[in-house]
Amino acid sequence: MDRQALHDYTLTIIKEAGERIRKSFFETMYIETKSDANDLVTNIDKETEAFIVKKIHAYDESFRILGEEGMAEEEISSLEGVVWMVDPIDGTMNFVRQRRNFAISIAIYVDGVGQAGYIYDVVADELYFALKGQGAYMNGQRLSPLEALPLNEAIVGINAVWATPNPRVEHEGIIKLIHTLRGTRSLGSATLEIVAVATGRMDAYLSFRLSPWDIAAGIIIAQEVGAVSSTLDLNAVNLLNQDTFIVANPSIHKELVGDYITLK
Amino acid sequence: MDRQALHDYTLTIIKEAGERIRKSFFETMYIETKSDANDLVTNIDKETEAFIVKKIHAYDESFRILGEEGMAEEEISSLEGVVWMVDPIDGTMNFVRQRRNFAISIAIYVDGVGQAGYIYDVVADELYFALKGQGAYMNGQRLSPLEALPLNEAIVGINAVWATPNPRVEHEGIIKLIHTLRGTRSLGSATLEIVAVATGRMDAYLSFRLSPWDIAAGIIIAQEVGAVSSTLDLNAVNLLNQDTFIVANPSIHKELVGDYITLK
């Protein structure tokens, strides 16, 4: 596998996919719901994933692909060999309602180790990527390593729903956390909240139900600036199933999870 | 007062102020705290307000100006005559930490009635404005009137802290609201959340402690697309003191406030 060639190829795929999404703004969009009324998918999600899958397989038919919309028609039950993780539109609600604040996410794993991660904020035209061990970049500019800070100066991405009674986490701990932090934000796109941590715009992002394609690229980018990713019971991130997730500045990761998060 | 000339002049002021802020990214920033550790002000906030005040007074020395940083050195206790409301950097925390997601806000009121509102998202280079009765615009493109929708399809801007025990609102109602809505967002800039409502990216934005300069321009812009603004006890917005605030799609305004908001 010629890694540089594959990297260049992936950059062209993600940019072309973004250009197709921008053009779709002038076409009629068809919206369906998935697991519940708030879980949307559009024809553009599906067409974009199909486009990306076709391009990946044009490079090498043997590459396995785990995609949010299942366009690769594969079951992925292990991370052996080369596995691509694709989210054609992360933040579909923002895509539908705002026509901004969504991103394409593509990651390449080899035997379970992230080798390359790409996140493209299509409307802002901001392309983030990282190659393992070679730093993270935004539009060609290298991202700086994160600087330590205390938890009471941190800005954390968290959805307000986790501060309310819910089946996944003791919300009293989240309330205590919110009162400790300098502030919270919620953007409605996991990938863009992960790159917000990687660029130091936020200091952590956590969620209690994310899928592998939501985090696969982001954690590779985040790792290159020193951010730490884990589940919220401090295990390695789960790249085969939906699970809890946090990415954080290393100076606050353990304190945030240990002192404020009690999973149910 | 030649309104068109004043409008053209204000556009040049706000764009030049934005350019000065962009240039400040390359200079050293000095940060102080105001009322509490989370209430920041920088030399750039002060310099930007001083610049705007000087420009307004160069046009007409008699204009009264209410500015967040008090650079006009005036007490404003009534809205008689011409009153300008200026927030040089709304979202100072975002300005300091993110170098994005903040805005300049300028409004012109005559005898308490909003005549012109300007909000400039400096880094995105998106300039929103409205002249009373003449529609609202973003970078020259007219914004569409808002379309009705049910509350359970609404996206609402609200800070997670209001879903936790706090001195201003019964948080149980906020929890019920969060579970009713399609989703929440939190951007960390009141002006940008108000223009998100005006552009239909969000359907309401509410807060329990905003100052006149946070909302003065936004409510003029929002009104031109049909959005409704009020305090959270359904009185007219307060342009002389800090107060509660909501701006909303008219189809959900009364239901949201009436069924979910109980002020303390």
Of A155, A179, A188, the CB nearest to B185: A188
Pairing assessment for the beta strands B82-90 and B64-67 based on DSSP bridges: parallel
pLDDT tens, residue by residue, B199-215: 999 999 999 999 999 99
DSSP state of A135: -
Residue A47 to residue A41: CA distance in whole angstroms: 11
Pick the CATH number of B151-260 from 3.40.190.80, 3.20.20.10, 3.20.20.70, 3.40.50.1000: 3.40.190.80
Q: How far apart are the first and last CA of chain A?
A: 43
Question: Cβ of B33 under 8 Å from any chain A Cβ?
Answer: no
Question: Is A179 within 8 Å of chain B by CB?
Answer: yes
pLDDT interval class at B191 (50, 70, 90): very high
Question: Quick one: DSSP state of residue A176?
Answer: H
The beta strand positions in chain A, using DSSP E, are 31-33, 40-42, 64-67, 82-90, 103-110, 113-121, 126-131, 136-138, 141-142, 155-157, 183-185, 204-210, 228-230, 243-248
Task: Please report, for chain B, the start and end positions of each structural domain, with discontinuous segments joined by +.
Answer: 3-142, 151-260
> What is the Cα–Cα distance from A116 to A10, expressed in whole angstroms?
10
Judge residue A260's burial from the number of C-beta atoms within 10 Å of its C-beta, 0-12 exposed, 13-18 middle, 19 or more buried.
buried
Interface touch A161/B178, C-beta < 8 Å: yes
Per the listing, tokens 């950097």 go with: B89
> Does residue B53 register a pLDDT over 90?
yes
Identify the closest residue of chain A to B36 by CA–CA distance: A182
Are residues B175 and A159, on separate chains, in Cβ contact within 8 Å? Answer: no
Handedness of CA A198, A202, A204, A207 (dihedral sign): negative
3-state class (DSSP) for residue A247: strand
* Nearest-5° Cα angle at B121, A97 to A181: 80
Mean pLDDT across the stretch B247-253?
Answer: 98
Q: What is the pLDDT of residue B33?
A: 85
Per the rule left: phi > 0, alpha: psi between -120 and 50, beta: everything else, B112 is: left
Instruction: Verify whether the Cβ–Cβ distance A182 to B37 is below 8 Å.
Output: yes
Element (H, E) at B88: strand B82-90
| Selection from A120, A112, A117, A149 nearest residue A133 by Cα | A117
Q: Do A37 and B152 touch (CB under 8 A)?
A: yes
Which class for B35: exposed (0-12), middle (13-18), buried (19 or more C-beta within 10 A)? exposed
Q: Is A256 left (phi over 0), alpha (psi -120 to 50) or beta?
A: alpha
Q: What is the mean pLDDT of chain A?
A: 95
> What is the distance between the alpha carbons of residues A150 and B200, in angstroms, rounded to a whole number?
37
And the tokens for A244? 């809890």
pLDDT at B35: 78
* Contact check, Cβ <8 Å, A201/B37: no
Of B124, B152, B185, the CB nearest to A187: B185
Chain B touched by A200 (CB under 8 Å): yes
- Do β-strands B31-33 and B126-131 pair in parallel, antiparallel, or remain unpaired? unpaired
> Which residues of chain B are within 8 Å of residue A188 when distances are taken between CB atoms?
155, 183, 185
Lowest mean pLDDT among A203-212, A247-256, B38-47, B193-202: B38-47
Which member of B163, B186, B200 has the closest CB to residue A164? B163
CA distance linking residue B121 with residue B99, whole number of Å: 11
B98 and A201 in contact by Cβ < 8 A? Answer: yes
Across chain B, mean pLDDT equals: 95
Q: CA of A100: which chain B residue's CA is closest?
A: B201
| pLDDT over threshold 80, residue A38 | no
By the CB < 8 Å criterion, does B226 face chain A?
no
Per-residue pLDDT at B34 exceeds 90: no
B183–A164 C-beta distance less than 8 A: no
Report the binding-site residues of A.
Answer: 68, 87, 89-90, 214
Provide the pLDDT for residue B70.
Answer: 86
What pLDDT score does A264 carry? 93
Candidate from A97, A161, A163 with C-beta closest to B164: A163
- With 0-12 CB in 10 A as exposed, 13-18 as middle and 19+ as buried, what is A140? exposed
B-interface mutation test, from A39, A98, A152, most B Cβ less than 10 A away: A98
Q: What topology does CATH give the domain B3-142?
A: Fructose-1,6-Bisphosphatase; Chain A, domain 1 (3.30.540)
Q: Is residue B111 marked as binding?
A: no
Task: Measure CB to CB from residue B164 to each of A155, A179, A187 and give the nearest one.
Answer: A179
Question: Is the pLDDT confidence value at A205 over 80?
Answer: yes
Write the DSSP assignment of A180-236 as a string of letters. HSSEEEB-S-HHHHHHHHHTTSSSEEEEEEE-HHHHHHHHHHHHTTT-EEE-TTSSP
Model confidence pLDDT, tens digit, residues B60-82? 999 999 998 888 877 788 999 99
Task: Write out the H or E segment, with its range, that includes residue A16.
Answer: helix A3-24
Tell me the ipTM for this assembly: 0.94
The predicted pLDDT at position B85 comes to: 97
* Mean pLDDT to the nearest integer, A113-137: 98
The C-alpha of A121 sits at a distance from chain B's nearest C-alpha, in angstroms, of 13
pLDDT in tens, A52-75: 999 999 999 999 999 988 888 777
Q: Which residues contact B224 (CB under 8 A, 6 or more apart)?
A: B130, B132, B133, B134, B135, B136, B143, B198
Query: DSSP letter at B87?
Result: E
A26: confidence class by pLDDT, cuts 50, 70, 90: confident
User: Rounded CA gap, A109 and A132, in Å?
Assistant: 10
Element (H, E) at A253: helix A253-260
Q: Which residues pair with B42 in a beta bridge?
A: B31
pLDDT digits over B94-146, tens only? 999 999 999 999 999 999 999 999 999 999 999 999 999 999 999 999 999 99
DSSP assignment letter at B211: -
Pairing of strands A183-185, A155-157: parallel
Dump pLDDT digits (tens) for B230-244: 999 999 999 999 999
Same fold: A3-142 with A151-260? no
* More confident: A109 or B33: A109
Chain B contact for A237, CB < 8 A? no
Q: What does the alpha-carbon distance between residue A176 and residue B211 come to, in Å, rounded to a whole number? A: 27
Most confident of A24-28, B32-36, B258-262: B258-262
